[in-house]
Amino acid sequence: MPERRTVALVTLGCARNEVDSEELAGRLEADGWQLVEDAADADVAVVNTCGFVEAAKKDSVDALLEANDLKGHGRTQAVVAVGCMAERYGKELAEALPEADGVLGFDDYTDISARLQTILSGGGHVAHTPRDRRKLLPISPVERQQAGTDVAIPGHGPADLPEGVAPASGPRAPLRRRLDGSPVASVKLASGCDRRCSFCAIPSFRGSFISRRPSDVLNETRWLAEQGVKEIMLVSENNTSYGKDLGDIRLLESLLPELAEVEGIERIRVSYLQPAEMRPGLIDVLTSTPKVAPYFDLSFQHSAPGVLRAMRRFGDTDRFLELLDTIRSKAPEAGVRSNFIVGFPGESEADLAELERFLNGARLDAIGVFGYSDEEGTEAATYDNKLDPEVVAERLARVSRLAEELVSQRAEERIGETVRVLVESVDEEEGVVGRGAHQAPETDGQVLLTGGEGLSVGRMVEAKVVGAQGVDLVAEPLPGALVGEEAGR
């Protein structure tokens, strides 16, 4: 019997890319490939790249070069680029990076096994010429669902497959194969974006906004629960738009309570929320539904009105603070995080001071700060009033220092609170580490549980916050602290 072909998936970028990698893994395993963790043990190393900002693109190129170095020293015979950077640049990336044996776009995903086999056999694959994927679907959102069946949309694989396609497969098995044993998993709610922020290129290579059907999201969540997942994070480019192409812009409000009833799931988290699209009903559901984390990942980007308008965005400092007041009036312990761009073309010292005013009043749990840089193909790249790179760097350092101070202060404010902590790692040196409802994976802080001996990964624990270490918290489990299913065992 011939030895099975082996493949390793190396994932960079956001949680949406992680979902895409697990769909690719499901497709490959269904076609007989053996998945391995280490690229050195694989016939083919598939690097799922990020194409968002320059730093992420550099990381993607470095990962491809690192995988290429394995060739000739072990089992690895080919290195293939997929993901956003591969989709965004196509032939250009293939020509600039001959170390990659193949550059595959989203349209190649449904035939990923055949593509990899061709490359592994020494056959050529002509990289695609990039196109604006916003033009592949109708302008009207309600006309997209049927058209979307003919357009490659990563992470939207069918949720009902024949037996044997995925681990513990059955009537709910999605086109997905988990690549780690984490008790947390992301679930695609939608893909693409209809917003036209002047600094962002994502819609051009991810396409227009298209929702997954609620039944697919529910079935995938049930399947993940069967795999031992305790927390799901709903991801997309803009979750507040979910359902608009299905004829119901309030569909998320009805879906969340259904997800909360899935047996085995202890926490549901919603990411990527647009402040301009927040509505009272959604705030109510996010702050009052059992098992739904009162967590608000709000994409503010700035707070000075002039800068926001140049970004093609809405709002201002006072409106944003009012939104946060509304949220906290319903859930005082709600978690809020956001990202900000400083040094945007035309940003004045007064604009920067206005952003600092907002940050000082917002009491955010986590803050990401980025210095502006041109992204090709965006409107902002054509603006004339660019700031000198030295000015951008100075403002980035200044706001980053402020952000670090403010998130530390916010963590200290939580001392004395009771938090529900999902245990994510147990290590002899680091101890028992998890996250509270106000902390998302990767992007936010974490909780160190003291006196957590005997706890295992996947346990949900009630704990009292007794200290803070920067953005991180230190907490002690309460007597009889296990929550949900674990409490009854």
Report d(CA 474, CA 447) in Å as an integer: 6
**Residue spans of alpha helices (H) in 275-376:** 280-288, 305-310, 317-330, 349-362
Cβ 388 vs Cβ 417: under 8 Å: no
Q: Is 79 known as a binding-site position? A: no
- Could you identify the residue written with the tokens 């202060």? 409
Sequence-ordered list of residues with C-beta below 8 angstroms from that of 102, at least 6 positions apart, any chain: 78, 80, 81, 94, 115, 116, 119, 125, 127
Report d(CA 285, CA 239) in Å as an integer: 14
Q: Is 200 known as a binding-site position? A: yes
Q: Is 288 known as a binding-site position? A: no
**Structure-block tokens of residue 337:** 């995080």
* CB atoms closer than 10 angstroms to residue 174: 26
Report d(CA 80, CA 187) in Å as an integer: 25
Cβ 472 vs Cβ 448: under 8 Å: yes
SS3 232: strand
Q: Is 85 known as a binding-site position? A: no
- End-to-end Cα separation, the chain, in angstroms: 45
Cβ 157 vs Cβ 174: under 8 Å: yes
Report d(CA 96, CA 150) in Å as an integer: 31
- Single-letter amino acid, residue 54: E
Report d(CA 93, CA 15) in Å as an integer: 23
Bridge partners of 464, per DSSP, are 418, 476
* CA angle at 58 for the pair 394 and 126, rounded to the nearest 5°: 145
Q: Is 50 known as a binding-site position? A: yes
Q: Exposed, middle or buried: residue 270 (CB in 10 Å: 0-12, 13-18, 19+)?
A: buried
Report d(CA 26, CA 168) in Å as an integer: 12
**Structure-block tokens of residue 46:** 């598939």
Report d(CA 139, CA 400) in Å as an integer: 39
Q: Is 84 known as a binding-site position? A: yes
Binding-site annotation: residue ranges: 14, 50, 84, 193, 197, 200
Binding-site annotation: residue ranges for [4Fe-4S] cluster: 14, 50, 84, 193, 197, 200
